[in-house]
Chains A and B, each alone.
Chain A
Amino acid sequence: MLSSKASSNCHGQDSLYFLGWQVYEKNPFHEVENPTGIIQMGLAENQLSFDLVESWLRKNPDVMGLKNKDGESVFRDLALFQDYHGMPAFKNELVEYMAKIGGNKVKFDPNNLVLAAGATSANETLIFCLADPGDAILLPTPSYAGFDRDLKWRTGVEIVPIHCSSSNGFRISMFALEEAYERAQKLDFKVKGVLITNPSNPLGTTMTTDELQSLITFAIDKDIHLISDEVFSGTVFDSPSFISIMEAAMDSNLKRNTDVLSRIHIVYSLSKDLGLPGFRVGMIYSNNQTVMSAATKMSSFGLVSSQTQYLLSYMLANKKFTSNYMKRNQKRLKKRKEMLVSGLKKSGINCLKSNAGLFCWVDMRHLLCSNTFEAETDLWKKILCEVGLNISPGSSFHCSQPGWFRVCFANMNQSTLQVALRRIKDFVERSSFNYQQIMASLSRKLISNWVRKLSSADREEQER
């Protein structure tokens, strides 16, 4: 009697990504209260710069108290504000902030921005606008586990993966794109677009202008859309600097194709850079007026609280704050990432070279007992239950090669990360010690067998 959506598991939440989270919830690490608990390294949150935001809040009690600059209450206006066009002041600040993240190479128009309750809502809404049930979107692997729910569940749209591999640092090749497109066609799906995450989750890498322009060319050629999920754009802490899809599209050659801008759409959110996932602030940016119009109406299903729009419009209007925040946040992310990378290296574990994100893409292939996803799951379970670290296995990101894990570094303090690194080191040493023990006992067995064989041969000789 329920819909097929309610009874299916298309929400994707049986995946290991969510299961690990559940196990962590039952035994969460706490420095004082539960020092042997599980350390959460599966949540891509930015907890490194709250002090900066809190300091701004302390200096602006009126804004929190829903008062304007003259100390007058704006409570009533906010309480009534449910216009799905969004608060103009807030949208103006958001487009400036987005531009700033991209080094002001592109100017964004607030009229082309639709607010949504988080990027989760923005992505789903965009798919509702661009695709019908039975259509397909191409997605490079590995990609964010939540997309199975966000893009497919209620929309009825399919995801066809673009297989990327470690052989070229998981970059999207034209070959892989074409192959995915053909595979979709063979499955009788109408491909409506490609969705990329740039910077990538879970890779932590940014795309080059060339890569972006190849994607745009592909989209033009196949007459499809290109969605660029840029939620991590504010977390780029190292070169190369971030290049938005909009910047790449500004190239004169591409612009000759007059409707190129109407097929490019950006998703952004304040959950990652600003570390405010609880406030539910996401958005869609598009030059396509038909999409804008529909998405605006659809945003009724997930508007941003006016209380939150008000607070953040003031915060982002303070340019001194945003400049300072961006600079310091990036420094802290870089430092923390380097701590993770060097710590892992001491345990003989390498990461994919990255310059963005709140996580590293970690290579544990050498710790697998076999090159299979079963072995990856075994290793994941060991790390979760024995080592006490909730990291995310590559299979939950649909990675085509076993042995890769996403490990988050920005959602804990430094000492917790040190505990985590020590635990990994101990685990690896134990594993290799065990391995050595196994190898040693194996060799001893082999040698004693050989010796026995030899001595029995002698006896036979003697007995002759």
Chain B
Amino acid sequence: MGLLSRKVTCNSHGQDSSYFLGWQEYEKNPYDEVKNPKGIIQMGLAENQLCFDLLESWLAKNPDAVSFKREEQSIFKELALFQDYHGLPAFKKALVDFMAEIRGNQVSFDTDHLVLTAGATSANETLMFCLAEKGDAILLPTPYYPGFDRDLKWRTGAEIVPIQCSSSNGFQITESALEAAYQEAQRKNLRVKGVLVTNPSNPLGTTMSRNELDLLVNFVTDKEIHLISDEIYSGTVFSSPAFVSIMEVLKDRKLENTQVWERVHVVYSLSKDLGLPGFRVGAIYSNDPIVVAAATKMSSFGLVSSQTQYLLSAMLSDKKFTKEYISKNHKRLQKRQNKLVSGLEKAGISCLESNAGLFCWVDMRHLLSSNTFEAEMELWKRIVYDVKLNISPGSSCHCTEPGWFRVCFANMSEDTLKLAMQRLKSFVSSITIDNQTHQDLKNMRKKNRTKWVFRLSFQSFHDREQGER
């Protein structure tokens, strides 16, 4: 039988990770309010399901956008034939305007620098193909999105070297962590091509501070490497501090005509803010014309359906709609996040303070039987199989400290979230009782041991006294 490629036989696709395994378990026994109220609640999927009503209402008012019509004229033929990898001009214009609007119009984007791709998955891989190859490495702060192992490494042959971040400073990137990662890559004989950050962060749900962004710009300038800023959650920033894009930092520091300007690339997508992962809309934004040229040609391998480009160009061109959507989306996300945080609090569980994203980074270290990843796995399995909540363990995000979990809040109804919190509360109480019983037992044994040791030493003292006499 003809041999297959190494890519097929290895497991570099990363899909044996618990992130995907939990998903599989959920699929076997999915929760349904009516049909399967005891099923597993999906809290491992970072989807935004809170604003579909706004999208549906817009669709109802704008039937032409789905009927291949422009000003009542059929443009079906034009769309059916449109496969230009430069993308539909009207859509790119609407998209860059939307991206600017999300950033409070502090920056503007040029459609000539934008490349459309079938989702951010495709955008990230394409960018990697343009910047790195076998023998090269990209530095990534941990914890990071499990899918990156597949998206950045699998077919490109590039390596990921983690920038270790810790809870001691809220998992922020430090200069020493950056340097350490760089040295680590060199030790492995890998050529560092760049740093990739997700801002706002997945799984942390935090936006990067100006300090961190400045640090990154300094670092990539000094090392003469690239900086990729995956900003797919930029539209989900629901409370302060406001989102600061890497482009804004470059602009503020007047770095537009310097070398580092062309080494900064942004990835965006409509899957998170607009909640449209099924439509496969992603984009690469780069100031390097060679990268734009190469990425444009590569986008042939994952173009966005013209049918979808047209629908979304109409939607995003409606500025009244986008303004209302962005505002309502933020409000609803904030409200929902608050519900999760307070629900967890009632269960004695705290989260990393966050202002963005569709999830919280939850601290369950105190529920581990030991400060190990084995204990984290044990806890995770109990939560998936017994508590029936599919949450994502920190190890699947390459977190260096056991005990952290990513819990999504925007992909279910309020009632379902309530139920999830109740289940968690009961679980934690039962562990606490168990732990209490366990602790009581431990205390008792300790007491008994102490008594016995005391008796022994008293005895030996007595014996010694006897001996010495």
Contact = CB atoms under 8 A, between A and B. Distances in A.
A124 B49 contact: no
Contacts of B3: 192
A79 B68 contact: no
A458 B176 CA distance: 104
Label chain B's interface by main secondary structure. Answer: helix
Contacts of A65: 59, 63, 66-67
Interface string B73-84: 010110111110
Interface stretch (A46-54, A105-113, A207-215, A442-450): A46-54
Interface residues of A, number: 74
B130 A117 contact: no
A193 to B, nearest CB: 7
A80 B47 contact: yes
B81 A277 contact: yes
A144 to B, nearest CB: 13
B140 to A, nearest CB: 18
B287 to A, nearest CB: 13
B216 to A, nearest CB: 17
B464 interface: no
Contacts of B132: 3
Contacts, number: 223
B81 A278 contact: yes
Contacts of A225: 2
B130 A6 contact: yes
Contact of B290 (A7, A192, A301): A7
Contacts of B79: 278
A116 to B, nearest CB: 9
A298 B301 CA distance: 11
Contacts of A100: none
Interface string B278-290: 1110000000101
Interface in A245-275: 259, 262-263, 271, 275
Given A75-B52, A79-B277, A149 B297 contact: yes
Contacts of B118: 117, 280, 301-303, 305
Interface of A is mostly: helix
Nearest to A43: B81
A236 to B, nearest CB: 21
A303 B123 CA distance: 12
A6 B289 CA distance: 11
Contact of B301 (A117, A275, A279): A117
A363 to B, nearest CB: 29
A306 B81 CA distance: 19
B13 interface: yes
Interface in B226-268: 226, 263
Contacts of B151: 300-301
A3 B56 contact: no
B2 A3 contact: no
A360 to B, nearest CB: 21
Given A76-B49, A262-B1, A300-B121, A2 B294 contact: yes
Contacts of A149: 297, 300
B131 A80 contact: no
Given A82-B280, A149-B300, A263-B2, A6 B308 contact: no
23 contacts: A1-B193, A1-B226, A3-B130, A5-B294, A6-B290, A7-B290, A11-B298, A50-B76, A53-B80, A79-B55, A117-B302, A117-B303, A120-B301, A121-B300, A129-B5, A154-B129, A154-B155, A280-B83, A297-B15, A298-B155, A303-B119, A305-B279, A307-B279
Interface of A: 1-7, 11, 13, 45, 47, 50, 53-54, 57, 61, 64-66, 73, 75-76, 78-82, 117-118, 120-121, 124, 128-132, 135, 149-150, 153-154, 192-193, 219, 223-225, 259, 262-263, 271, 275-280, 290-291, 293-294, 297-298, 300-308, 311
Given A80-B277, A278-B79, A304-B305, 6 more contacts: A3-B136, A54-B77, A79-B275, A80-B278, A278-B80, A303-B118
